Structure 1
Amino acid sequence: MKTNVRLCHLLLRRRFCTKSAPKVKTRMGKQMGAWQICQYGGNEELTQTTAARAPSIQKPTDLLIEIHAASVNPIDTLMRGGYGKTMLNMLRQGLWNQAGGTEFPLILGRDFSGVVMETGKDVTRYKPGDEVWGAIAAQRQGTHAQYCIVGQSEISHKPKSLSHVEAASLPYVAVTTWTALCQVGGLTQKNAQNQRVLIHGGSGGLGTFAIQLMKAWGAEVTTTCSTDAVGLVQSLGADVVIDYKTQDVQSELQRISGFDVILDPIGGKIPTFSTDLLKSWRNSKYVTLVTPVLSNTDKFGIPLGLFTSATSFGTNIIKGISNGRSYRWALFIPNGNALGQIAKLVDDGKIEPVIDKVFTFDQLPDAFQKVEGKHGRGKTVISIKDS
């Protein structure tokens, strides 16, 4: 009986995915390999296919990319469960012109390294055969596939010193860090010298990149991590390391407080004491990547969700502002120009990829499971072209 129920469930999913798929042009009728979900849920919803419809260029500023490697980020595991679907589906309706349609079958994955196959007529910076890397907007079909469509503003030329697998580990965390520390936090290569920066969770994918970027620009970096990651973050240049397994993080940070910028990719209890660690009268900033915008719109819908988020943001600003301190939110925003500057830092030997584990394309569900387990040391990467 259980077998029959499961079979019916699978048949319904297959029927739903086939009939409801978004209408997109195919690339010369070709098919591609991809991992898709046909409904939100856990790892059991990830389905591998060799017959996904390969995408085609629909806008003059878009490019078709053959993906050689991609990574799995925590945002991918959240999106697999439906996180952000309300806001993202509104954006997808404009991107795919599918008002009233569905996002399924949906390909996850945000960053990649690969080769340009075709370009739109208004693309001027790239040509077929160029090796590029990028992190694409969340409303686009993702990069856990053999091909993807990207806008030229979302990519840059890949660092020449890196393989595709190495390069694929960086774009999403690099662009997210850039948004948080540079665009929101106000740090630049010119003004970061001797700035005191606190990075919570320094051993993860985002933390390992943020430490290197700040050290490349001459900042003094303090970070937190567990005992087994102390050596790693020290090797990346962290000046002060607080081991949350053996030390009281809050009391240790209060003892050495006086930070110009604090980056929080973790949330939880951290915001309750972090703003007090900022310098006074120095326009210091606490920047968090843990925002309620997408979860609120999922829960309340677009208008009420945005209003609720704005109210929460205003409350946090009022609590955080004192003596020149400020509380700010940051979100991932694709940024090809930032990736171009980061590529130069990589080729100059100032930033290196930190890869925890590489999986083959067939092992993608295992990669999701690893990322969900947290406590990663750097990034989890998927080799696609050579799988």
Structure 2
Amino acid sequence: MKAIGFKTSLSIEEKDSFIEFETTKPIPGAHDLLVKIDAISVNPVDFKIRQSSAKDTVLETPKIIGWDAVGIVQAVGEKVTLFEVGDLVYYAGDITKQGSNAEFQIIDERIVGRKPKTLSAEESAVIPLTALTAWEILFDRIRVNADKDKGKSILIIGGAGGVGSIAIQLAKKIAGLTVIATASRPETIDWCKQQGADFVVNHKDLVKSVREAGFENVDFILDFVDTNAYWDTMVELIKPQGHIASITGSAEPLVLNKLKSKSVSFSWELMYTRSMYQTEDMVEQHNILNIVADLLDDGILKTTLKETYHGLTAENLKKAHQLLESGKTIGKIAIKF
């Protein structure tokens, strides 16, 4: 099968930052599906792993990355019960295994959902990683309750990105929250409003912008940009007994003691935790993806696709990575095979 990978971590402008090669089609294990991929999308995790996973070394076999795919089930493992050959599926993958930048991929059925019926392959491919991340951070980490928390305020830092785009929709349309999203350019402000944000504030002076929007403090904060850079700002803006959650990691230790006087909770979210540790509730990602597919098919949620490239080529992956690395991406990028 055709695949695209890399043997060493190079700048995306370098000729061999991605290479096309032929490799053996994988064989599914007991709980695996073999999926013939039709479309993928690209996320910031892709370029971060490309930049860091083969530094100062040359791999013998190219590393295949990519997390987000849509395709058709070609074969199933002996213990598979959730899918059959011929099913159309979508998923975000497992960071510990080979990725989706290939013609075929094996994937554990417990982290796979049915493809939305009303969306194209590329419209569906941009959903899984960001929807799972946004769903888990809202409903598993913060544990937002649509009845108890309806009308409460949530600040989403990084509203126009892939995760921010779907988080705005889930927070507004499913959780019933009052959504404040950050953006600074006219096109990103407009995008956040299209996703359903009630207020769009400027992240360059966030405390001032939030308060000018009429909020002294907010109930919940989601950080999709930089935990360290926004830590003191989030500490100031969060309400007593509020909850902050982040996906971005921390280059420097966080001073959690700053949350103590307000009795504020803090959570990390990593979408790969369930698959990485084979948690007892790993199948929840299957359930979440099916719920999201229903919401998309019912028109309650909408795809966050912004741009599509055509063809599984090294050049298309380079273009997608360059755009993501620029930090100016709006919504999501898909590649249709």
TM-score band by shorter chain is 0.7 to 0.9
Partners of 2:178 and 2:54 in 1: CA distance: 35
Task: Confirm whether residue 33 of structure 1 aligns to residue 2 of structure 2.
Answer: yes
Residue by residue, what CA displacement relative to the aligned partner does 1:105-124 show, whole Å, maximum 9, x if unpaired? 11110111111111111111
The answer to whether the 8 A contact 1:321-1:327 is kept is no
Instruction: Give ranges in structure 2 of 5+ residues lacking alignment.
Output: 276-284
Aligned-partner Cα distance in 2 for 1:271–1:214: 22
Query: Within the alignment, does 1:291 sit opposite 2:249 as a pair?
Result: yes
1:254 to partner: Cα distance: 4.2
Are the aligned partners of 1:192 and 1:214 in contact in 2 as well (CA < 8 Å)?
A: no
How much identity, in percent, do the aligned residues show?
Answer: 30
CA contact under 8 A between 1:61 and 1:120: conserved in structure 2? yes
Partner of residue 221, structure 2: 262
Output one character per residue of 1:70-113: Cα deviation in whole Å (capped at 9) or x when no partner: 0111110010012599xxxxxxxxxxxxxxxx684111101111
Q: Which digits, 9 at most, give the CA deviation of each residue in 1:30-74, with x for residues without a partner?
A: xx11111111222233334351222111x2101101111101111
Cα separation, partners in 2 of 1:188 and 1:159, compared to 1, 3 Å:
farther
CA distance 1:258–1:82, change in 2 (3 Å): same
Shift of 1:275: 2.0
Task: Verify: 1:108 aligned to 2:65, yes or no.
Answer: yes
1:172 equivalenced with 2:141 (yes/no):
no
SS of equivalent residue, structure 1 residue 150: strand
> Residue 323 of structure 2: which of 370, 374, 379 is its match?
370
Give, in whole Å, the separation in 1 of the partners of 2:54 and 2:257.
Answer: 27
Residue 111 of structure 2 is matched in structure 1 by 154
- Secondary structure in 2 aligned to 1:279? strand
**Residues 115 and 220 from structure 1, CA distance in 2 versus in 1: closer, same or farther, beyond 3 angstroms?**
same
CA contact (8 A) 1:227 1:244 kept: no
- 1:278-328 C-alpha deviation (Å, 9 max, x unpaired): 121xx3111111214xx7xxxxxxxxxxxxx9xx3xx53322233231222
Larger radius of gyration: 1
Q: Is the Cα contact below 8 Å between 2:206 and 2:233 reproduced in 1? A: no
Kindly indicate whether residue 236 of structure 2 is the aligned counterpart of residue 276 of structure 1: yes
Question: In structure 2, what is the Cα distance between the partners aligned to 1:347 and 1:188?
Answer: 23
Q: CA offsets per residue over residues 174-207 of structure 1, 9 Å max, x none?
A: 1111222221111244444212111011111111
1:235 aligns with 2:194: yes
Question: Residues 231 and 47 of structure 1: is their aligned pair in 2 closer, same or farther, counting only changes over 3 Å?
Answer: closer
**TM-aligned CA deviation for residue 253 of structure 1:** 2.1
User: 1:134 offset after TM fit, Å?
Assistant: 0.4
Match of 2:302 among 352, 357, 366: 352
Query: What's the TM-score, normalizing by structure 1?
Result: 0.76
1:200–1:207: 8 Å Cα contact kept in structure 2?
yes
Question: Partner of 2:24 in structure 1?
Answer: 53
Deviation at 1:171, TM superposition (A): 0.6
Q: Work out whether 1:220 is the aligned partner of 2:220.
A: no
Residue type of the partner of 1:269? A
Any runs of at least 4 consecutive aligned residues in structure 1 with deviations exceeding 6 A, and if so which?
none
More helix by share: 1
Corresponding residue of 2:268: 329
After superposition, the CA RMSD in angstroms is: 2.1
Alignment gaps of 5+ in structure 1: 1-31, 86-101, 296-308
Counterpart of 1:46 in structure 2: which amino acid?
S
Aligned to 1:23: none
User: Could you tell me the TM-score, scaled by structure 2's length?
Assistant: 0.87
